[in-house]
A = this chain, B = another copy of it.
């Protein structure tokens, strides 16, 4: 498919581009007054996510408002455990909460997996198809899912956590059950992402938000093989892996068939390049708190970051944009990339 602006896809494929493309993780959401107005019509976050027309409208708002080079479908990584049969609540300003959690193999046996689970996610596929209509060929659309370890962490821990010690305890005490759960999540995620591609997703990003909680060895055992399976099963589109906090796994991530590796704001560009090798595109890694600075500082620091990456680079933040970020800061960031000259 041809896009009026295909900079993002060309960069993701590793092609030489005139300037790096730019988008922001969580660009669709609370930073935009248009989103807050739209969202006010819904009783809760989950109802919103499950309404394809609303999700598609939120997906396209930052395209219209900020002029980013890629859209990302508005959804949540926790739709996957829900589709597998583990319900969650999204508590405003606190985060997700699972009333029931996975404790043992018996719990795992009861979960749906693969296509049987993914069919419950038709509303996300519909949101993607709807978004494509609204974008109308302007720019590509990113689909996404949580990485198996991160989804596992929520399903076992039951909520966010400072330590994820309950989820991590299972890796030590019930490693076979842990692998069984990770495999079910992986199989479901693959079916889910295949549906996203069929619906029109041009690139897929995998978010491993809690990667940084594992030891390097655990990441090799409980994360990398499942990331590999996902990438192998989806050769049709380019893929991005964003493993937050997993600086220690960059060499392993560099060997996986993901075209793009996302970086958090702790990782110096030269370090990431050295560890991942020369063939992948790096994405990131502006400090989200830097968007609280003045537009002049944002411009200066954005240009400095682009210089440090020195090519094969998609500009983004090192984390999702924080809800209280001033819109002027976000605009200054996007504009700084667009006006960058080598």
Binding site for B on A (CB under 8 A): 160, 162-163, 165, 168-169, 171-173, 212, 214-216, 218, 245, 247-248, 265-268, 271, 287-290, 292-293, 297, 319, 322, 324
Whole-angstrom distance between the Cβ of A55 and the nearest chain B Cβ? 24
> Closest residue of chain B to A292, judged by CB?
B169
Which residues of the other chain, B, contact A212 by a CB distance below 8 angstroms?
A: 245, 266
Contact B172 A290 (CB under 8 A): yes
Are B247 and A292 in contact, with the CB atoms below 8 A? no
CB of B247 within 8 A of CB of A289, answer no
Q: Which of B172, B216, B289, B297 contacts A268 (CB 8 A)?
A: B216
Identical subunits present: 2
Is the CB–CB distance between A172 and B293 below 8 Å? yes
In contact, B248 and A267 (Cβ under 8 angstroms): yes
Contact with A248, one of B172, B215, B218, B268 (Cβ below 8 angstroms): B268
Contact of A292 among B173, B245, B287, B288 (CB under 8 A): B173
- Which residues from chain B contact A267 at a C-beta distance below 8 Å? 248
> What is the CA–CA distance of A46 and B162 in the complex, to the nearest angstrom?
22
Query: In the complex the two chains form, is A292's CB within 8 Å of B172's CB?
Result: yes
Contact of A289 among B168, B216, B245 (CB under 8 A): B168
A178 CA to B171 CA, complexed, in Å:
41
Task: Knowing that A165-B288, A165-B322, A169-B292 touch, tell me 17 more A-B residue pairs with CB under 8 angstroms.
Answer: A160-B162, A163-B288, A163-B322, A165-B324, A168-B289, A169-B289, A172-B289, A172-B290, A173-B292, A173-B293, A212-B245, A216-B268, A245-B266, A247-B266, A248-B266, A248-B267, A248-B271
Are the CB atoms of B163 and A215 closer together than 8 Å? Answer: no
